[in-house]
Amino acid sequence: MNAPAGRFAARTVRVKAPGKVNVSLEVGPLRPDGYHSVASVYLAVSLYEEVAATSTDTPGITVSLSPESTVDLDAADIPLDGSNLAYKAAAIMADVSERSTGVHLEITKRVPVAGGMGGGSADAAATLLACDALWNSGLSREELAHLAGELGADVPFSLLGGAAVGLGVGDELSPALAKAQTYWVLVTADYGLPTPEVYRTLDRLREAGGVQAAEPVGVDPQILTALRSGDAEALSRVLVNDLQRASIELAPALRDTLGIGESHGAIAGIVSGSGPTVALLADDPVAAESLAEDLRHYGLTALSVHGPVPGARIISDTLL
């Protein structure tokens, strides 16, 4: 129904965007610009953030967190001001849209905060798409991807979804063919690991060990072959994460989580990105569910997910 003439008609666009697991993550040495080059295979998994963007008749951007969130919002340190990644995404979209309005963003958080699964990046990707629809910005998918890259290295992937190879700082993405599903159990932690600290720890460990890391040039083709066919056994042999030992150095309990997972039927385990989420690979959905159940008996928070799943998608568009 249309609002009566002269009355502001609020509209809500709701978008969901997936979190990711790095199936492989190779990290080069610290560059003079303070970044590290990476070569990574990203996999979008079925754990989604949701952003509901509602147009407002007062200018400006406001952010709130939905009580439907499944992460512990009291424990998490999520800014609601201009430093929130969703806020930044809306601000960028307002700059490039001719007919922007004020907007309220309500975020439903399900991806663990500072968990190495790109939850904040998923919020940014969802917000880009929601504001694009709300303000009819007319941007192409490529232009949105470009704006996503300005917001953060993991944002373009949450927009794209599926599986992809990421080079550069992770933002130079090439989609990978991965039609078959793989099944994972995510063990989330009730604390976060700040990504910059994990990278600094890796640099320190390498220096202490006299290790000269090489610039990563590409990803192991066997990873892509295993993902394409959904061959979990082959994939288990090629999972790699250069950040893992730095994450374990900062949070030694991760070693126990990996051990418990592997002794309860996981065919391999890996810290996801900078951690502390651990991703355990299972043979099939039934094995994943039973592994998750076993891990809950240890008091661990375990979720079974699958991937690849599509990137950010509009799930509803309502005129209020």
- Contacting residue, 18, 23, 93, 120, with ligand ATP by CB under 6 A: 120
Q: Known binder of ligand: residue 19?
A: no
17 bridge partner residues: 49
- The annotation status of 119 as a binding-site residue, yes or no, is yes
Dist. CA 43–CA 23, nearest whole Å: 7
In this complex, which beta carbon is closest to ligand ATP, that of residue 64 or of residue 136? 64
Contact between 50 and ligand ATP (CB under 6 A)?
no
Closest CA to 11 of 108, 133, 139, 159: 133
> In degrees rounded to 5, what are phi and psi of residue 209?
-90, 5
- Using the rule CB under 6 A, which residue among 25, 43, 103, 114 binds ligand ATP? 114
Asked whether residue 113 is marked as a ligand-binding residue, the answer is yes
Q: What residue type is assigned to position 230 of the chain?
A: G
Q: Which residue has the tokens 């309502």?
A: 318
Q: What sign does the dihedral 228-314-136-88 (CA atoms) show?
A: negative
77 lines the binding site for ligand ATP (CB under 6 A): yes
Hunting for tokens 């090489």 — which residue is that?
214
Q: Binding to ligand ATP (CB under 6 A): which residues in 236-295?
A: 273-274
154 Ramachandran zone, left/alpha/beta (phi>0; psi -120 to 50): alpha
Q: Does 115 bind ligand ATP (CB under 6 A)?
A: yes
| Smallest distance, ligand ATP to C-beta of residue 108, A | 11
Question: Rounded to the nearest 5°, which phi and psi values hold at 274?
Answer: -85, 0
Segment 151-190, which members bind ligand ATP (CB under 6 A)?
154
CB 29 within 8 A of CB 215: yes
Residue 72 is among the residues annotated as catalytic for this protein: no
Q: How many residues bind ligand ATP (CB under 6 A)?
A: 23
Which DSSP letter does residue 213 get?
A: P
* Candidate ranges 120-128, 173-181, 208-216, 226-234; the one touching ligand ATP (CB under 6 A): 120-128
Q: Looking at beta carbons only, is 138 or 196 nearer to ligand ATP?
A: 196
Annotated binding residue at 117?
Answer: yes
Q: Report phi then psi at 278, rounded to 5.
A: -110, 135
Active site residue 123: no
Q: Which residues bind ligand ATP (CB under 6 A)?
A: 77-79, 83-86, 107, 113-121, 123, 154, 192, 195, 273-274
* Binding-site residue ranges for ATP: 112-122
* Binding-site residue ranges: 112-122
Active site amino acids: 20, 154
